[in-house]
Structure 1
Amino acid sequence: MKIAYLGLGLMGQAMAVNLAKAGLEVVGWNRTPGKPGEAALMAAGGKVENSIEAAVKDAAVVFTCLGDIGDVEQVLTGKGGVVDFAMAGVVIADFSTIGPEAAKRIYDALRAKSMHFLDAPVTGGDVGARNGTLTIMVGGDEEPFRKALFALEKMGKNIKHCGPSGSGQALKLCNQILCAVNMISVCEAFRLAEQLGVDENLLVDVLSGGAGGSWALSNLGPRIIKKDFEPGFALKHMLKDLRLVFENIDGQDDLLPGTKLAQDLFKIVGEGDGSDSGGADGARGTQAMRLAYK
């Protein structure tokens, strides 16, 4: 059974590689040819095509992991997109964070062409993507979810069908609130530790196992100590997700004061050029919020 995977970025390549390593027939495509994700997929036994048409031809399942709403809609329902070339009955699952309304819009457009769409955003970061331990929140019809489950299980360990189209996206936005606000507490704990002369390694080692422990402290705390602000989850994507959060409460910022503070702090560090920290292209991960607490 052929699986097409469209979008071989940081998360997508790791997820596609896990599918290929599991012995599944995986054909990838990337909007920007020549990216490292293509080589990684081929090394794992997958194939790479240079067009959406070639990638999705005869595929029973199509996965996408892209950037923003516009990217997802262009690749799936735009001219020359999946809708023009995939076969009827195909199950299409998108791992991007695009919000409930966009998910429902895509669901309706693909259903009109006898194609099944699942919104399936993920959480767990680059570590979870590499280790195949992602949490995958799925919205859409039950039957296509069951058909795609065998492949989803190669990429995640906590896979839940959350309800009708848009449900996965709704839960993912709630997840992003938890991630964003928790990052404030992690950074403020580091700031107090600095003020009081507490060893930062002790902060992570001891408190990760207590009531104040969290995924962010355990996984991003060590990166903060090393001043490693390269993205596991890119800051620009978190800002996009928080924009979606506020769009879904009609811009009533006062309803989510903690989330608004997190958004403001992310914007502060996002305005830096990244030359002193972050990836080779200046990109920063969400742990770069620590830089706002100088």
Structure 2
Amino acid sequence: MGKSMAKNLLQAGYNLNTYTRTKSKAVELIELGATWKDSVAELASDSDIVISIVGYPSDVEQIYLSENGVLNNLKSGSYIIDMTTSSPLLTEKIASIAKEKGIHSLDAPVSGGDIGARNGKLTIMVGGEQQAFKTVLPLFQVMGENIILQGESGAGQHTKMCNQITIASNMIGVCEAITYAEKAGLNPERVLESITTGAAGSWSLTNLAPRMIKGDYEPGFYVKHFIKDMTIALETAKEMNLTTPGLELSLSLYQRLAESGEEDSGTQALIKLFK
């Protein structure tokens, strides 16, 4: 997703520095005009706005808070935008430290998968100060369409947890519906023509169900990353004394799926447990 988002920024005319742990993944961006930086520290010191989207909260912590991380190398008055789905508590910690250094901080996790990233149609859920949001809004508008400031730092992450909680139970329903259609002797693709436009309609039903039917389990969004997201959501819900049985069930099923060797498959591979 990150490469597609960066590509859209380049094509929109922005000057882009780039760094990844695996340089080969950035070759296409470099060929399009991005400037390669050899470290996070070098990238931060040569940039006015740093945008990150990585795998896990531990990666976010390393990128921003380590000695050679962003916050120790970015100049005052700059902006950080973390678009990783991460821990709300970690987000608030990073924002607090950034504020002490005179750095503007926004958390802006996204939804829309690989398709939304490629097409610049991501949903972007933002937490942070209104003025910082207004300043970087043109960047968000290159990457997404539904862009909403939800509140102070951490609000973007909490909103993404709501998103993932909704998807978690919905994915079970999508898998059960397709399996039911097949067992009933129906053409599941024809069934989708009816139910995707009615009350059952959802992004997952429209975009992932066809992949399930075709046996296409290539990742738009990895199983292992969805497990990470659901784990954060469940832990955060427990901190708020909130019971989430649908989330717990979905997490347990995806953990079974990962244990069977599917952690690097797309989330639509959940249908394998039902078949």
Q: Same fold (TM over 0.5)?
A: yes
What are the superposed Cα offsets for residues 87-120 of structure 1, whole Å, 9 maximum, x if unpaired?
1111100001112111101101111111111110
> Residue type of the partner of 1:21?
Q
Asked if the contact 2:237/2:244 (under 8 Å) is kept, the reply is no
Write the mapping of 1:111-260 to structure 2, written as runs, cut at 5 A: 111-250=99-238, 255-260=243-248
- Paired amino acid for 2:96: D
Q: Which residue of structure 2 aligns with residue 109 of structure 1?
A: 97
Secondary structure of 2:146's counterpart equals strand
Distance 1:115 1:251 in 2: 29
C-alpha contact 1:99 1:173 (8 A) present in aligned 2: no
Structure 2, unpaired ranges of 5+: none
- For 1:4, the equivalent position in structure 2 comes to none
> Alpha carbons of 1:252 and 1:284: their partners in 2 closer, same or farther (altered >3 Å)?
farther
Percent sequence identity over aligned pairs: 40
Compute the TM-score of the two structures, normalised by the length of structure 2.
Answer: 0.96
Report the aligned-residue RMSD.
1.6
Per the TM alignment, residue 254 of structure 1 is displaced from its structure 2 partner at its CA by: 8.0
Shift of 1:189: 0.3
Question: How far did 1:249 drift?
Answer: 2.2
Runs of 5+ in structure 1 lacking a partner? 1-10, 275-281
- Counterparts of 2:185 and 2:241, CA distance in 1: 36
The match for 2:273 is 292
- Bigger fraction of residues in helix: 2
Residue equivalent to 2:67 = 79
Separation in 1, partners of 2:193, 2:44: 46
Secondary structure (helix, strand or coil) at the match of 1:243 reads: helix
Per-residue deviation at 1:204?
2.1
CA distance in 2, matches of 1:252, 1:103: 17
* Whole-angstrom distance in 1 between the partners of 2:189 and 2:240: 39
How far apart in 2 are the matches of 1:176 and 1:45? 34
- Number of positions where the alignment pairs a residue of Structure 1 with one of Structure 2: 275
Residue aligned with 2:21, SS? coil
Structure 1 window deviating more from structure 2 (170-179 vs 82-91): it is: 82-91
- After superposition, the C-alpha distances for 1:106-158 in whole angstroms (9 at most, x for unaligned) are 10111111111111000000100000000101101111111111111100001
**Residue equivalent to 2:5:** 15
